[in-house]
Amino acid sequence: MGKILIAGGTGFVGRSLKKYLEENGYEVYILSTQKNMVNQHLFYWMPTQEIYEGNESLDFEAVINLSGANIADRLWTAKRKIELKESRVLSTQFISKLINEGKIKTKYFIQASATGFYGDRKAALLNENTHAGEGFLSELCIAWEQAVAVKNIPFSIMRIGVVLDKEGGAYPKLMITTPFRIAQVFDGGKAYMPWIALNDLTQMIAFLIQNQSEGVFNAVSHSITYKDLYKSFFTWHRKRFLTLSIPSRLLKLILGQFVEIFSSSQRIEKSRIVDLGFKFSIDSFEKFLALPKK
């Protein structure tokens, strides 16, 4: 197996991906903006200042860009919107430049994006050919994807759904009211949440590396309404529960555009990657619930 470079490799997805790739024989290198963490396999870079202190002699089997500030950790003030956009667009532009100039040598490039590209589409079935939607998330994803400018090598873009894992990410936050047997939903929980188990996401990335597949891929194993998500959770645990429905219009008065995080609906039932032979191992929410804690 060859060498892999991950930008954003110290985050939630990046850490899991690094572990999985190393277990499968790859030698993994990380790009980080934390200079105090630098070692033989972790290089310092600062995309906003176009600083790169990596080993330019290395040849990478693939480069994966997962960089981007956390979309949901604080309200979208005007300043925060700029930070969210710059952390994605500038890192993508800079890593493309490094590849094109030969400072990062690679055979293949994978760029992260998100299903927010599609905006709020209610119950409409969506696939990789569906046009972009409206709203801040959609605008952010469009700019993110358009920032890819690598030349002369194959590349792919992954529109990643909500990443679920028992130990971290979105799942503990989704389940925050369940100890009180309350399902907290918005507008009756009719919105669809496209999701993928963390293990499936890491395996999907490895599959793309092995096949050097080109184009856009939805990193989504299934979609579920928030109403059905909580119903499945409490049925699995054999508990009765109360549904608390909050009007998204009311929430918008408080949170502004940030309400998109909770109310946008994207119903994605299948990814193009299935046609290439990839199989999702956790393709139902019940299978996810059955996973043991680590």
Q: What's the CATH number where 135 sits? A: 3.40.50.720
* Residues in CB range of 2: below 8 A, 6 or more apart: 26, 27, 59, 60, 61, 62
Q: What is the pLDDT of residues 9-20, one digit of tens each?
A: 999 999 999 999
**Residue 24 domain flag:** yes
What does the pLDDT look like over 225-254, one tens digit per residue? 999 999 999 999 999 999 999 998 888 888
Among candidate residues 99, 129, 106, 109, the one with its CA nearest the CA of residue 117: 129
pLDDT digits (tens, 9 = 90+) for 69-123: 999 989 999 999 999 999 999 999 999 999 999 999 999 999 999 999 999 999 9
The DSSP bridge partners found for residue 112 are 158
Q: How many domains does the chain have?
A: 1
Does some domain include residue 252?
A: no
Domain span at 75: 3-166+193-224+267-282
The residue-averaged pLDDT of 155-178 equals 95
Angstrom distance (rounded) from CA 230 to CA 185: 9
Query: For 162-168, what is the mean pLDDT?
Result: 94
Q: Is residue 64 part of a domain?
A: yes
**Per-residue pLDDT at 119:** 97
Q: Is 240 inside any structural domain? A: no
Looking at residue 248, what is its pLDDT? 86
- For residue 229, give the 3-state DSSP assignment: helix
Domain presence at residue 171: no
The pLDDT, as a whole number, for residue 104 is: 98
C-alpha to C-alpha distance for 293 and 156, rounded to whole angstroms: 32
pLDDT > 70 fraction of the chain, expressed in percent and rounded = 100
**Residues 52, 53, 56: CA angle, nearest 5 degrees:** 95
How many CA atoms does the CB half-sphere of 66 hold within 13 Å? 25
Residue 291 included in any domain = no
Q: Is the pLDDT assigned to residue 294 strictly greater than 80? A: no
pLDDT at residue 88, as a whole number? 98
175 found inside a domain: no
Helix (H) or strand (E) holding 215: strand 215-219
Is 173 contained in some domain?
A: no
Residue 178 has pLDDT above 80, yes or no: yes
